């Protein structure tokens, strides 16, 4: 594992907060030049430390809400490869958004997205659960997202009640 400079660590924290920060703004926040920021970002991308810039979308505000499910998967690990080989087979499916190796009652947590419940259910029954090393699955459909990646989706209404004083 590569050790990175304090500048790059601070830069990563700021980009986690908001990837839209410009190099000029980041340079002001970090007390360095914009060229130093651009160079550090280029190095982080080249070293595959920064692998993607993503947008968090509140799909509740859109007409085309997708269905997301978290699937607990128990698997039989392979000799000499452990959980890696079956995890790779799973994450290559286009419906799969994330795969995590877990501790506890199951081995993998798989995040799947589809257009509707039936599409996700078909994926689980026809693709995921039929894989040779998969012993069992347990599917949990996400009904509502309150917060994702540090972003709160709920619109909070102000309390319009009158204050009562003694």
Alpha-helix residue ranges (DSSP H) falling in the chain: 6-17, 23-30, 34-46, 84-91, 117-122
Are 95 and 120 in contact, with CB atoms under 8 Å apart? yes
Q: What is the CATH number of the domain that holds 136?
A: 3.30.70.920
Read off the tokens for 72.
């607990």
Are 131 and 86 in contact, with CB atoms under 8 Å apart? yes
> Based on the structure, what is the number of domains in the chain?
2
Distance of CA 96 to the CA centre of its chain: 11
Pair 34, 84 in one domain = no
Pair 70, 128 in one domain = yes
Read off the tokens for 164.
């009562």
Write the pLDDT tens digit of every residue in 53-109.
888 777 777 776 789 999 999 999 999 999 999 999 999 999 999 999 999 999 999
Read off the tokens for 99.
């795969």
The predicted structure's pLDDT at residue 65: 75
Distances (CA, A) of 72 to 137, 146, 152: 5, 21, 25
Query: In whole angstroms, what is the distance from residue 123 CA to residue 31 CA?
Result: 50
Pair 42, 78 in one domain = no
- Please give the model's pTM, rounded to 2 decimal places: 0.77
Residue 160: pLDDT band (50, 70, 90) is low
Write the pLDDT tens digit of every residue in 7-45.
999 999 999 989 999 999 999 999 999 999 999 999 999
């Amino acid at each position: 594992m590569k050790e990175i400079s304090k500048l790059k660590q601070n830069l990563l924290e700021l980009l986690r907060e908001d990837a839209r920060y410009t190099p000029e703004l980041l340079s002001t926040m970090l007390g360095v030049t914009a060229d130093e920021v651009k160079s550090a970002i280029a190095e982080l991308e080249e070293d595959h430390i920064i692998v993607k810039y993503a947008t968090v979308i509140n799909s509740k505000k859109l007409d085309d809400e997708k269905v997301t499910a978290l699937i607990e998967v128990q698997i039989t690990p392979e000799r000499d490869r452990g959980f890696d080989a079956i995890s790779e087979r799973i994450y290559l499916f286009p419906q799969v958004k994330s795969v995590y190796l877990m501790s506890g009652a199951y081995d993998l947590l798989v995040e799947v997205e589809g257009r509707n419940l039936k599409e996700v259910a078909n994926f689980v029954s026809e693709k995921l659960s039929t894989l040779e090393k998969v012993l069992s699955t347990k599917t949990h459909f996400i009904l509502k997202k309150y917060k994702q990646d540090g972003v709160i989706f709920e619109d909070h209404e102000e309390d319009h009640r009158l204050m009562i004083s003694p």
